[in-house]
Structure 1
Amino acid sequence: MDMTTDGRYRVLGRPRDPDELLLISVDDDGDHPLDAYEPTYVDTGSTDGDVADAVEELQAGMLVDATLEWTDSDPQFVAVDVVAETVFEFYDGVTGLFEAAKETWMVAEGDNAPMHGRVTKSTDGEPNGALYVFAKQSGAQDLFEEFRNGMRPLEPLIRRADEGESVPPEPEQPRAVFVLRPADEPFLVVYVVFRRDGVLIKTMRSTYG
């Protein structure tokens, strides 16, 4: 018996198969916070018509409302609407890391903390991003890949901007989220840029992309 479900999801791209899109559920009623960010791999190879065209345009980072049809436990898209055209960008082995990230890591080190965050501001003094640094993990754990494949959700970091900063909510002002793994620093950077179409995102891309 087929079943359809409606939900809000974060698109993470196609890490396993070009005909399979990874979605992370961001529906959270507060009752089951540990289950709020469940991954779902959705088959796109058999989707057709207008839905297929819409699915083809989805990129990592986008926030979407989707209806999924479950057949033999394998979901397919029935409908999809983009809520926010946020983008995720992952850069490995970066050099010349910006000073704000280094300063944020120095605070984490001084507090003997595994992570630290701060709000960055433009030259006009307006909040333009939320910056987080995480200590690189030893052994098999790879934070960079965990953020990229959804094992460690970026969603809580994005939501803090909606809840704590005087910036328009994401559906009104899509974000740009950069995950940087420096080549010569002992930490990982997650930078939630508040405006996808602002000057800061252009600077980040031209410097590290």
Structure 2
Amino acid sequence: MTTTDGTSPRTEGPFRLLPGRTDDEWLLLDAESADPTYVPREALPDDAVVGNCIDADISWDGEDPVVESATIETTTTVEFVRTEAVIFEAAQNCFEAARAEGEAMNSRVTYNTDNEANGVLYTFAEQAGSRDLFEEFRDGLKPLEPLIARAAQPEEVDPPFSVFVIDPEEPFVVVYIVLDPDGLLDETVRDTYL
């Protein structure tokens, strides 16, 4: 595949890093278009982890993408977990408020004991039929990027964040964006669900 001037087409990041289809690859999800590109794990820095925002230049050699350069732009992390643990009260209340209004999605800001914002919580009602929202978030079909971008705006905070996509034994999926990845809330969520 070449462009009209005979060169290989190029794609530039930023990309959100997600798990690939196998353990040998990464999914780079274009942060603006949500177009997926699968690349070999060895094409990215060794310290890259799921959720990082990657600045990368990619060229195309036939059908295969070639990573020309890649750097980690922000160290936001994303954890995907299915759990039998009881889901926390704020998530339950957020979902119940959506259900009472007949809505499929709801969000709210959470606060610590000093009344400072410490997270942004989203709940998404499970869809009838064969859709699996948890898998759609994991596979990039339902992008996390708009949620992560919105989390920074009201409280004027900058990444990195910790993002938890949690599929509890409830009729909803939780996306919890913790604003301080080194704080007590992050530690609590990890200890409870990971």
State the TM-score, normalizing by the size of structure 2: 0.91
Superposed CA RMSD in Å reads: 1.5
Shift of 1:44: 4.2
- Structure 1, unaligned runs of 5 or more: 28-35
Superposed, 1:1-209 pairs within 5 Å as 1-14=7-20, 16-27=21-32, 36-44=33-41, 47=43, 54=45, 56-163=46-153, 165-170=154-159, 174-183=160-169, 185-209=170-194
- Percent identical pairs in the alignment equals 41
Whole-angstrom CA distance in 2 between matches of 1:144 and 1:17: 17
- Structure 2, unaligned runs of 5 or more: 1-6
Partner amino acid, structure 2, of 1:125: N
Aligned length: 188
Runs in 1 of length 4+ with deviation above 6 angstroms?
A: none
Whole-angstrom CA distance in 2 between matches of 1:143 and 1:99: 21
Structure 1 residues 102 and 44 mapped into 2: Cα distance closer, same or farther (>3 Å)?
closer
Q: Deviations over 1:36-90 (max 9, x none)?
A: 2111112345x5xxxx5x2x32111000110112100311211111111011111
Query: Hey, what does 2:3 align to over in structure 1?
Result: none
Q: Deviations over 1:98-127 (max 9, x none)?
A: 110111111111101111100001111111
Shift of 1:138: 2.0
State the TM-score, normalizing by the size of structure 1: 0.84
